[in-house]
Amino acid sequence: MSKLYCQFPQDFLWGAATAAYQVEGAAREDGRGPSGWDTFCRRPGAIAMDHNGDHAVNHYHRYKDDVALMAQLGLKAYRFSISWSRIFPDGVGRPNPAGLDFYRRLIDELLGAGIQPWATLFHWDLPQALEDRWRGWESKQCAQALGDYAGFVARELGDRLTGIFTINEFLCFLDKGYGFEPELFAPGKSVSRRILNQARHHAIYGHGLAVQAIRAERGNSLSIGLADNISGCVPVRETKEDIAAAKAALRELSGMYITPILEGSYPTTYLEDEAANAPVFTEEEMKVIGSPLDFVGFNLYAPVFIRHDPEARRGWSHLPCDDAYPRMSMPWLAIEPSILYWVPRLAHELWDIPAIYITENGCSYPDRPDAKNQVWDTARVMYLKQHLIALHRGVLEDLPIKGYFLWSLFDNFEWAFGYTKRFGLFYVNYETMDRFPKLSAKFYRDVIKQNAVGGPARN
């Protein structure tokens, strides 16, 4: 076969991602307990148009048809999340067999279609009972509860899963939900800096306990990791100085999450910066936090431009995107495809990661169907194409990039933006719940089929 432009390795894992609260619906069916997002959605004015996830895109009932759509795309893997309060309506204690059964059926359907199931244990929908009882992550008991839940899922479903993510994006449910953007993220509370740092510590400790519990149940028979929205550090220029600055920034900006997880200790920069507000922890906890992982997943959307800056305290500074900078249709979604190259490269140089997955990347965009229900989302195709070309640069340089999960398979409940933001490859008509493949779905199907971006290169 002639050479294809941006050819990916043979076993490259092409996937798509969703999260339970954003797609499932069936919020009060089959014994599911409420989560913090059910509660947050009831807060007047919290969600655009007062939307909520009660029905979402009804994936809970339409999962068979949805798996058929995935098969049409040629997806090799599906990243979904498990609703903790479907399995444990009270967060801990007695499991709910009907909730578990849904995931069993979903996984069987995926396996039947030749699609690898990759499950996220916690994608922000903390059982409300844990917030009521322990104030959520403010308590170490919440970490223990995650560990127990992880062990239970590994025992019940682990034989059928290919991969498992403990936690999705610490920053959103902690930093944002506990104080920096409480109006946009559940549980929508404002805690002190000291309590935030302790909650961050409990969450990474919960991650470590979950890793250990899954490993104890399943050994190395499934891949264990997490999906983190690490800062999208990109050097402003490809000079030695800026690259070194971006690398230092990546490590320091991740000081409360990925750095301790991959190094087994907090970087001194984080502890110094937080001083009296730093978390209290034991050596034993740090060992658990540093439990070895099979892979690390990065959710990458927007750039954090870094430059070498001898006048800055740490030798680097962040250059914000200005008003004229091109963005997709989210306030924070500045476009810089090279994040898909730089973050894996810098992270790998820092931490020598065995396998890296892009666990989310994609964009929202106010696309609309025409009279024939066709959605010509050329801007999304542009966004995806450019990001995949940038990702390919890392492949060419032999970085251990093993797969890419596109966010998202369908338009869905985009948190505080409700259904007003569309991230999907499939357009969802929220009146009828019908799904239509957008142009981007066809683009992605071609990419998967050819295992390349674009067709044969001209000689």
Two structure tokens written together for 151: 């062990």
CA distance 424 to 244: 36
Q: Find out whether 63 and 108 touch, Cβ atoms under 8 Å.
A: no
CB of 15 to ligand PNW, least distance (A): 14
What residues does 14 pair with on adjacent strands?
404
Indicate the residue among 8 and 413 with the shorter CB distance to ligand PNW: 413
CB of 272 to ligand PNW, least distance (A): 26
CB of 412 to ligand PNW, least distance (A): 7
CA distance 438 to 421: 15
Indicate the residue among 39 and 451 with the shorter CB distance to ligand PNW: 39
Indicate the residue among 279 and 424 with the shorter CB distance to ligand PNW: 424
Indicate the residue among 7 and 412 with the shorter CB distance to ligand PNW: 412
CB of 80 to ligand PNW, least distance (A): 12
State the angle between helix axes of 140-157 and 97-112 in degrees (0 to 180), rounded to the nearest 10.
50
CA distance 171 to 185: 10
CB of 8 to ligand PNW, least distance (A): 23
Indicate the residue among 288 and 333 with the shorter CB distance to ligand PNW: 333
CB of 59 to ligand PNW, least distance (A): 14
The three-state (H, E, C) secondary structure of 331-389, written as one string:
CCCECCCCHHHHHHHHHHHHHCCCCEEEEECCCCCCCCCCCCCCECCHHHHHHHHHHHH
Q: H or E element: which one contains 304? A: strand 304-308
The conformation of residue 279, written as its DSSP 8-state character, comes to P
Indicate the residue among 92 and 333 with the shorter CB distance to ligand PNW: 333
Residues that bind ligand PNW (CB under 6 A): 19, 22, 168-169, 172, 229, 299, 301-302, 332, 360, 407, 414, 423
The residue with its CB nearest to ligand PNW is 332
Active site amino acids: 169, 360
Amino acid at 237: R
User: How distant, in Å, are the alpha carbons of 82, 123, 150, 235 from that of 92?
Assistant: 15, 17, 11, 44
What residues does 120 pair with on adjacent strands?
81, 165
Indicate the residue among 206 and 362 with the shorter CB distance to ligand PNW: 362
CA distance 73 to 358: 18
User: How distant, in Å, are the alpha carbons of 62, 113, 116 from that of 76?
Assistant: 20, 9, 6
CB of 331 to ligand PNW, least distance (A): 8
* Nearest to 234, CA basis, from 245, 226, 224, 220: 245
